[in-house]
Structure 1
Amino acid sequence: MTSTASTAPTRRLTVAQALVRFLAAQYTERDGQRQRLINATWGIFGHGNVAGIGQALLENQHVMPYLQGRNEQAMVHAAVGYARQSNRLRAHAVTTSIGPGATNLVTGAALATVNRLPVLLLPGDTFATRVADPVLQQLEVPYAGDISVNDVLRPVSRYFDRVTRPEALIPAALQAMRVLADPVDTGAVTLALPQDVQAEAFDWPEEFFTERVWQVRRPAPEPGALAEAFHAIRAARRPLIIAGGGVHHSEAEEALKALVDATGIPVASTQAGKGSLRHDHPADLGGVGHTGTEIADDLARTADLIIGVGTRYTDFTTASGTLFAEPDVRFLNLNIAAFDSHKLGALPLVADARMGLEALTEVLRGHRVDETYEAEYRTGKARWERTVDAVYAAEDDSVRPTQTQVLGALDSAVGDQDVVINAAGSLPGDLHKLWRARSPRQYHLEYGYSCMGYEIPAGIGVRLAAPDTPVWSLVGDGTYLMMPTEIVTAVQEGINVNIVLIQNHGYASIGNLAEETGAERFGTAYRYRAEDGTYTGDPLPVDLAANAASLGMAVIRADTVAELRAALAEARASNRPTCVYVETDTRPTAPAPQAWWDVPVAQTATRPAALKAREEYDRHVASRRRHI
């Protein structure tokens, strides 16, 4: 047998150059709409990537835009914000050096994977040839020579590969794109790139750089499963839809509205699903679960059929297994992921959210819930709206606002298409109960990982995905101190993000939780030590507004409700990144939780607060159910 050399055309490039050119040619397509998959690469350079990916980005700026970040975790957050605003059809890549640059990616990667949002991570790695071993920042593992710090990204990545030879890039890159574009598998994808391999030249087949389109599938429900769903809904007296993030990712909001308009089935939403219906739709009951509204949680307790659409059923949604209390309650889960569709012993309807909702609307033609049920939830919705009006309002505009009054002022300032971003602290609970979402993408809460520091970089990502959309990043002082660094990026790039910076001198959310669970707000206040050694002295003299100004933002200080309203209007009209700084009256004004959340309390203790908290804990635990 004789062999002949291939005559297929090739292109001689380094591995890094080839990867950048490959990424520039990848597209997604759904419903006939084609979009580029990787639209930019964030990067901070060090000895693990500066001469490889860094040089390749410099050489290919005409096909791959570069974005300069200040913190590796924050770069991932910005990429995640971009992907979410893009309904997971577009993404960013993030490159770092080896060592601390790579390990700084872990939190962002976990956030992306938990929330099932695509981001491509390209950390540098140690030498594949091991000619310089150990290199600067290398972790040596005595029992294994092939481990590097990048291996910590394996459990938080949906796909991981280490490209130790040039030709290995081709299958690795193709698998990476497959996962990023798959609505079931998507999340963080990591290609670890040894620094010597990045710079190595190879003759690449020209076909590797041709445009490739990844079809984002919309599977329809199986007829048998659809028939089961039809019978379950027809038999239900008190059905309740729980809308999750899958409604938004599938762009299924209109399909949900059509089903609700036709059947009268009410809708409660998770943090990720809020805005699936406009807040003023008669069947929109607002948030559900521990941070839900009174009417949504009341209906959840008495519902005989829960119809989950694109939800993961986290413990906040189920009130740690205590919310769905009807003895004969059943579950019907419409989800593109079989893993989620089978949760809580449900009838699984494995399908794209929009396709599934449209199919249900068709088979349920002519069916509608009883009019007394509609009247009940509409009355409850009206009652809750009065509650929102009351906590948003300020009797005296000349006083310091409470946190709920801050939300009320913001509600008056934003337009229908503005995006409000938050992730951690006490704000997610208040927002889930109270915010009146006016469009599908207005309510942007990262509550899968609830990661402090997400809001500011995510605001940049959202603004990059929707350049004409006003963006509001809501942060407390605790979150701000975690990660203000990307303010510099926003200023540098002229990305007009508005920050509402709320100063309440500590971790408000954890402080409340500590009080409820017998930990007596221990370690949650930002104060000097008192004579007894506790952090109960005067507030620390930090000036976060001055800090934001020092990083280049325009800063507007608001001391009263009236000044806050004026400041928000000024910020929205501004053409530069602007921070509205407000110190709040920390008295609790939001409605109390309408359902429980399981945070185990000390089973034995000497302090009265812990003993009392344990009694309350045992009472709630007794009502927990396992739905199988």
Structure 2
Amino acid sequence: MSRGSASYRCRGPATAIPLLEKTMTWTGSDLLLDLLARAGVRRLFGVPGGPLLSLLDRIDDHPDLEFVLAKHEEGAVFMAEGYAQAGGGLGVACVTSGPGTMHAVTAAASATSDGAPVLLLAGQVPVPHFGRGALQDSSGGDWSADLVGMFRSVTKLSALVTDARQLEFLTLRAIAAATSPVPGTAHLALPVDVLAGPAPRPDVDAGPGPSHPHPDPAEVRRLADALTSAHRPLVLVGQGAKIARAEPGLVDVAERLGLPVATTMKGKSAFPERHPLSLGVYGTYGMSQSTHEAVLDDEIDLLLVLGSSLGEVSTVGWDERLVKNRAVWQVDVDRRQLGRAMSVDHVVQSDVAMLLDALTDELDRREVVRPGPPPGGSGATPVEEAAATTVKHPPVGALQGSAVARVLDRRLPDDTLLLVDNGNALCWVGEHYRSGAGREIYCSLNVGCMGYSVPAAIGVALARPDRPVVAVVGDAAFAMTCPEIHTAAELGVDVMWVVLNNAGNAMVSNLQEVMFSRSPGSMYAAPIDVAGVARGFGARATVVRTATDLEAALDQVLDHTAPSTGPVVLDVQVGPDEVAWSLRARAEALKVTA
């Protein structure tokens, strides 16, 4: 996929209200932007509004900062999340007061759940106007929504800045909270008089980066003893390992000890799935029957959990067989996750990459014989077995979602950055698309917000302009955030969205059919013209009906010799009735809790 280069600069109003009159005085906006630039921030994603005008005006004069105009506040925060997930550093989103800030709550919660460092800057009415009926006042009390309080439950820090003299301290504290060893969203409410009024010059020393917990050497030795003495150990890898960039150490330890490795859906791409020790994805989404059986094998006597909180999705509804009759070790940088969800025998608070490095050093001091290939059959892993069943043309009827994922597995380059939206796309990509060898995968689970991948892909593309960026999204999720395609068109970024168009909320419909043998209220009366919508927003679009058409469309978009084309949408017509194997396990979990 060829890469485009475009810069979108914010242009402030020709005139401003007296409170925001342009002046050469050093203002709160200047101080804030200076602190962000010192922290390495280069882009701010946002939607404008009155309380933000002084900030936008100053961005336009700042040589190191670019403002990306989103179409909706949720989209702006998801762009910032994607930017952070792809290694672009701190993602920053700007929203205005009242409904602008309210719209950002879901995406802010998602970034915190996904461990993405995001700073949310929210405008607010002037401090003297709190409680006086100001337009979009959201300062709390009994007169308006308390957005600072609302964000406290979904962020690492939520604070109101009422004086410019607080701005430096609270901004640095918010950046530190967002980029801590357990990253997430930090929220600052910024009244217009704080941003537009005079402020002190910065007096900062950024100091060292966040300190990650090192493992206790004694715990490392005990873990090495347990792994080398276990009869059939198994590793389950979660998002924490992916955030820690632990793949090299994980591959080394797995190969030294012959450890089969499964990942959660959020941990997918933390271990290469073409590796002979890979079992693929375990959990509600993406799991195959062979993976399920391999992980729950009665002969497994030790389970090492690396960077997973063992939540509902990662454990198929907290299936006790995952931890029963085996020694369970859990490693996580966040001590709050240790032993929180399921019974474990040993806990280690540590950054996963650091733990694996220490474990490697410990194994170096021992005489550990490297085992041969894993026993059994042809040696094919569950992921390889799924890939081997690829069919280019479904025998009858519409193109199936699983076949789309298999085509993507064959056709996408090894350096692809793939985003997956919530819905059946998770199941198909989780089971049939192999990560590793440079392929990275990003998703947004726990909060599970539909529509994440449309804006997040834009953030990923801006953070990693040298890599192909592809998002797989259902038509219902596409409908929620598709206006951000216009943002991609304005920026000229090369992003490809593969939209599984099956005329509605097929995952919900599938669950309803499994549980109740009918599916009222889930499917559309008429399908969305996804290609037409995409063209209206300025993207190229192609309707795809067969696997052959899909392969041809992918080859055309990914042609490195072709000039930059900007955003592309593939409107892939798929049938709604294919039910993923893992979705049946989800239905059983819902029956228990219903």
- TM-score computed with the length of structure 1 as normaliser: 0.84
2: CA distance, partners of 1:385 / 1:367: 28
Amino acid at match of 1:47: G
Query: 1:375 maps to what in 2?
Result: 375
Q: How many residues align?
A: 560
The answer on 1:567 being equivalent to 2:553 is yes
Using the TM superposition, give the Cα deviation of residue 69 of structure 1 relative to its aligned residue in structure 2, in angstroms.
1.0
Cα gap change, 1:493 to 1:398, in 2 (>3 Å)? farther
Gaps in structure 1 of 5+ consecutive residues: 1-10, 27-35, 528-539, 602-616, 622-628
The answer on 1:201 being equivalent to 2:211 is no
User: What pairs with 1:427-506 in structure 2 (closer than 5 Å)?
Assistant: 427-439=425-437, 441-506=439-504
Cα gap change, 1:383 to 1:465, in 2 (>3 Å)? closer
Asked if structure 1 preserves the Cα contact closer than 8 Å seen for 2:291 and 2:382, the reply is no
Of 534, 542, 547, the match for 1:548: 534
Using the TM superposition, give the Cα deviation of residue 278 of structure 1 relative to its aligned residue in structure 2, in angstroms.
1.7
2: CA distance, partners of 1:111 / 1:557: 31
SS of equivalent to 1:517 = helix
SS of equivalent to 1:491 = helix
Query: 1:363 maps to what in 2?
Result: 362
User: What pairs with 1:247-326 in structure 2 (closer than 5 Å)?
Assistant: 247-291=241-285, 292-301=287-296, 302=298, 303-322=300-319, 324-325=321-322
Gaps in structure 2 of 5+ consecutive residues: 1-23
Query: 1:533 maps to what in 2?
Result: none
Amino acid at match of 2:290: I
User: How far does the alpha carbon of each residue in 1:239-267 deviate from its partner, in whole angstroms, 9 at most, with x for none?
Assistant: 11011122222121110010011000110
Query: 2:60 maps to what in 1?
Result: 58
Asked if structure 1 preserves the Cα contact closer than 8 Å seen for 2:131 and 2:137, the reply is no
Cα gap change, 1:117 to 1:395, in 2 (>3 Å)? closer
- Alpha-carbon RMSD across the aligned residues, in angstroms, is 2.6
SS of equivalent to 1:345 = coil
Task: Give the stretch that moved more between structures: 173-182 or 116-125.
Answer: 173-182
2: CA distance, partners of 1:481 / 1:357: 42
2: CA distance, partners of 1:177 / 1:496: 30
Asked if structure 1 preserves the Cα contact closer than 8 Å seen for 2:162 and 2:190, the reply is yes
1: CA distance, partners of 2:317 / 2:91: 35
Asked if structure 2 preserves the Cα contact closer than 8 Å seen for 1:42 and 1:93, the reply is yes
Query: 1:607 maps to what in 2?
Result: none
Asked if structure 2 preserves the Cα contact closer than 8 Å seen for 1:256 and 1:357, the reply is yes
2: CA distance, partners of 1:203 / 1:422: 44
Q: Percent of aligned pairs with the same residue?
A: 25
User: What pairs with 1:74-85 in structure 2 (closer than 5 Å)?
Assistant: 74-85=75-86
Task: Give the stretch that moved more between structures: 573-582 or 411-420.
Answer: 573-582
Amino acid at match of 1:16: S
Query: 2:172 maps to what in 1?
Result: 174
The answer on 1:24 being equivalent to 2:21 is no
Amino acid at match of 1:295: S
Asked if structure 1 preserves the Cα contact closer than 8 Å seen for 2:111 and 2:184, the reply is yes
Amino acid at match of 2:552: A
SS of equivalent to 2:200 = strand
Asked if structure 2 preserves the Cα contact closer than 8 Å seen for 1:491 and 1:553, the reply is yes
SS of equivalent to 2:418 = strand
2: CA distance, partners of 1:332 / 1:526: 46
Query: 1:332 maps to what in 2?
Result: 329
Using the TM superposition, give the Cα deviation of residue 458 of structure 1 relative to its aligned residue in structure 2, in angstroms.
0.9
SS of equivalent to 1:16 = helix
Structure with higher Rg: it is 1
Cα gap change, 1:598 to 1:401, in 2 (>3 Å)? closer
Amino acid at match of 1:281: H
Query: 1:3 maps to what in 2?
Result: none
The answer on 1:71 being equivalent to 2:57 is no
SS of equivalent to 1:348 = strand
The answer on 1:44 being equivalent to 2:39 is no
User: How far does the alpha carbon of each residue in 1:293-327 deviate from its partner, in whole angstroms, 9 at most, with x for none?
Assistant: 33332232132211011112121221222253564
Using the TM superposition, give the Cα deviation of residue 93 of structure 1 relative to its aligned residue in structure 2, in angstroms.
1.2
Using the TM superposition, give the Cα deviation of residue 358 of structure 1 relative to its aligned residue in structure 2, in angstroms.
1.8
Of 151, 173, 181, the match for 1:153: 151
User: How far does the alpha carbon of each residue in 1:421-475 deviate from its partner, in whole angstroms, 9 at most, with x for none?
Assistant: 1121111012112211133552222223221111111111111111011111111
Task: Give the stretch that moved more between structures: 460-469 or 126-135.
Answer: 126-135
SS of equivalent to 1:59 = coil
Query: 2:404 maps to what in 1?
Result: 406
1: CA distance, partners of 2:489 / 2:71: 12
Query: 1:127 maps to what in 2?
Result: 126
2: CA distance, partners of 1:138 / 1:448: 31
1: CA distance, partners of 2:378 / 2:351: 33
1: CA distance, partners of 2:231 / 2:586: 25
Cα gap change, 1:199 to 1:68, in 2 (>3 Å)? same
User: What pairs with 1:345-356 in structure 2 (closer than 5 Å)?
Assistant: 345-356=344-355
2: CA distance, partners of 1:215 / 1:335: 19
User: How far does the alpha carbon of each residue in 1:256-303 deviate from its partner, in whole angstroms, 9 at most, with x for none?
Assistant: 010011000110001121122222211011001233233332232132
2: CA distance, partners of 1:214 / 1:110: 27
The answer on 1:13 being equivalent to 2:26 is yes
SS of equivalent to 2:136 = coil
2: CA distance, partners of 1:147 / 1:589: 42
SS of equivalent to 1:499 = strand
1: CA distance, partners of 2:369 / 2:446: 33
Cα gap change, 1:77 to 1:564, in 2 (>3 Å)? same
Cα gap change, 1:288 to 1:381, in 2 (>3 Å)? farther
User: How far does the alpha carbon of each residue in 1:558-595 deviate from its partner, in whole angstroms, 9 at most, with x for none?
Assistant: 22221121111112236221111121133426445585
Asked if structure 1 preserves the Cα contact closer than 8 Å seen for 2:393 and 2:548, the reply is no
User: What pairs with 1:497-536 in structure 2 (closer than 5 Å)?
Assistant: 497-518=495-516, 520-527=518-525
Amino acid at match of 2:307: G
2: CA distance, partners of 1:449 / 1:337: 18
Asked if structure 1 preserves the Cα contact closer than 8 Å seen for 2:289 and 2:581, the reply is no
Amino acid at match of 1:436: R
Query: 1:612 maps to what in 2?
Result: none
1: CA distance, partners of 2:534 / 2:226: 55
Cα gap change, 1:412 to 1:360, in 2 (>3 Å)? same
Using the TM superposition, give the Cα deviation of residue 369 of structure 1 relative to its aligned residue in structure 2, in angstroms.
8.8
Using the TM superposition, give the Cα deviation of residue 491 of structure 1 relative to its aligned residue in structure 2, in angstroms.
0.5
Amino acid at match of 1:293: S
Query: 1:394 maps to what in 2?
Result: 392
Query: 1:91 maps to what in 2?
Result: 90
2: CA distance, partners of 1:327 / 1:293: 21
2: CA distance, partners of 1:180 / 1:150: 16
